Structure 1
Amino acid sequence: MTDSAAARAYWDAAADAFDQAPDHGLRQAATRGAWAARLASWIPRAPADVLDVGCGTGSLTLLLAEAGHRVTGVDLAPRMVGHARAKLAAAGLAGRFLVGDAAQPPTRAAAFDVVLSRHLVWTLADPAAALRAWVARLRPGGTLVLVEGRWRQAGEAAPYVPGAERLPWHGGVTARELTDAVRPLVSEVRVEQLGHRPLLWGGPVTDERYALIARA
């Protein structure tokens, strides 16, 4: 399995250039608007307490704060968290950010109306344990939102850190696999396909991309 220090170093090194990807930085108005619209359709009306696990540079966290939600972001990489804090501060918005393992968020006894994760589960050594931890942080009736996909076909890319090729969902996870893992933990689950929405990604995509929305 992967070493957490190696993973932290990888994402720290990626932090400064991370937002150059259209769906990471959301710098284009159309892409930003597309994500804001999808979040509004998945998440209860503001203000809600939202935990963004694996928040990265905080682009979705910022959209949530702009919509009036109370946001907490968690990421393993300190440089990612630094960028996220700077984004909200520049916008004059409040947000809480923690450096820590997104699979076991260091939020103590805090409970949330929403737990959001985007493009994270493929990096986790034990995604099933992470899913349980995220659902456990939801209030009754809370919402789990997982934006995921099957990013790479086997053999197309080198592992992002040594040992990553042995991760359970290295390269992504199909909607069917993730639904099967989440269903026993929740009362309701649905999948929304996103691969046909090029505005979300800054252009057309050919791999599987989707959002899984579940109710605790």
Structure 2
Amino acid sequence: MTDYSTAITAYWDAAAVGFDAEPDHGLRAEETRAAWAGLLTGRLPSEPSSVLDVGCGTGSLSALVAEAGHRVTGVDLSPRMVDQARAKFAAAGLSGRFLVGDAAAPPTGDERFDVLLCRHLVWTLPDPSAALREWTRRLRPGGTLILVEGRWRESGRSGVPYVAGAETLPWHGGVTADDLAAEVRPLVTDLRVDPLADYPILWGGPVTDERYALIARV
């Protein structure tokens, strides 16, 4: 597992330089940024809350959360991703905390949060079921779990291989809404799935695969 974790860190460290070039990663286009801000605003609490962004990458969603008045803690395995997130916050004059660590077991001790946010991460996890149990434990009673996920039809077509052995991951290539909901439902008291594939503004263009937001309360 140590070697696998090292390989994953190296992969995302290498990806960090060009990560924000993807429309839904960097959110550089105003209309894409506004669309993601609207998506989050409709699913986050109306009052200022503590939000844990696991697998935060370069901090684009964290920035939107902070701009909405929430207290953000971001966690990512890649030090270079975390460096970029910190720089992004500093440049924007935003306040936030970013930690290098395993998103499946965030290094936040006994701290509990009002919201746990995760986007496009669970496909990378060796044990997503364990991660989901851990994430729900990190939430306060009444807290909200927001998972933006999908099943990627274009997975593997880029010609850039992920780490060796990735094809054996439980959710390699993503996870359907039905399968993710089945894993989450026993851990929560309320759950809904909002389809997102028909909103090309979120992705920088049309997509043909399954994309959705799963929102649940504990």
TM-score (ref. length: structure 1): 0.97
Deviates more, 1:38-47 or 1:109-118: 38-47
Task: Tell me the equivalent position of 1:135.
Answer: 136
Q: What is the distance in 1 between the residues matched to 2:191 and 2:155?
A: 28
- What is residue 61 of structure 1 aligned with on the other side? 62
CA RMSD of aligned residues (A): 1.3
- Aligned residue number for residue 202 of structure 2: 200
Gaps spanning 5+ residues in structure 1: where?
none
Deviation string 1:61-117 (CA, Å, 9 cap, x unpaired) is: 000001100000000000000000011111111100000000000000110000000
Show the counterpart of 1:91.
92
The DSSP-based 3-state class of the residue aligned with 1:19 is: helix
Moved over 4 A (4+): 153-159
CA distance in 1, matches of 2:138, 2:149: 20
Q: How many residues align?
A: 216
Q: Percent identity?
A: 69
Question: 1:152: how far off?
Answer: 3.1
Q: Which runs of 5+ in 2 are unaligned?
A: none
Q: Cα offset for 1:58?
A: 0.2
The CA deviation string for residues 5-57 of structure 1, in whole angstroms up to 9 with x for no partner, is 00000000000100000000000000000000000011101311000000000
- Per the alignment, in what secondary structure is the counterpart of residue 199 of structure 1? helix
Aligned-partner Cα distance in 1 for 2:11–2:59: 17
Deviations 1:188-215 (A, max 9, x none): 0000000000110011000000000000
Q: Is the 8 A contact 2:153 2:209 kept in 1?
A: yes
Question: In the TM superposition, what are the counterparts of 1:33-182 in structure 2 within 5 Å?
Answer: 33-152=34-153, 156=157, 159-182=161-184
Structure 1 match to 2:186:
184
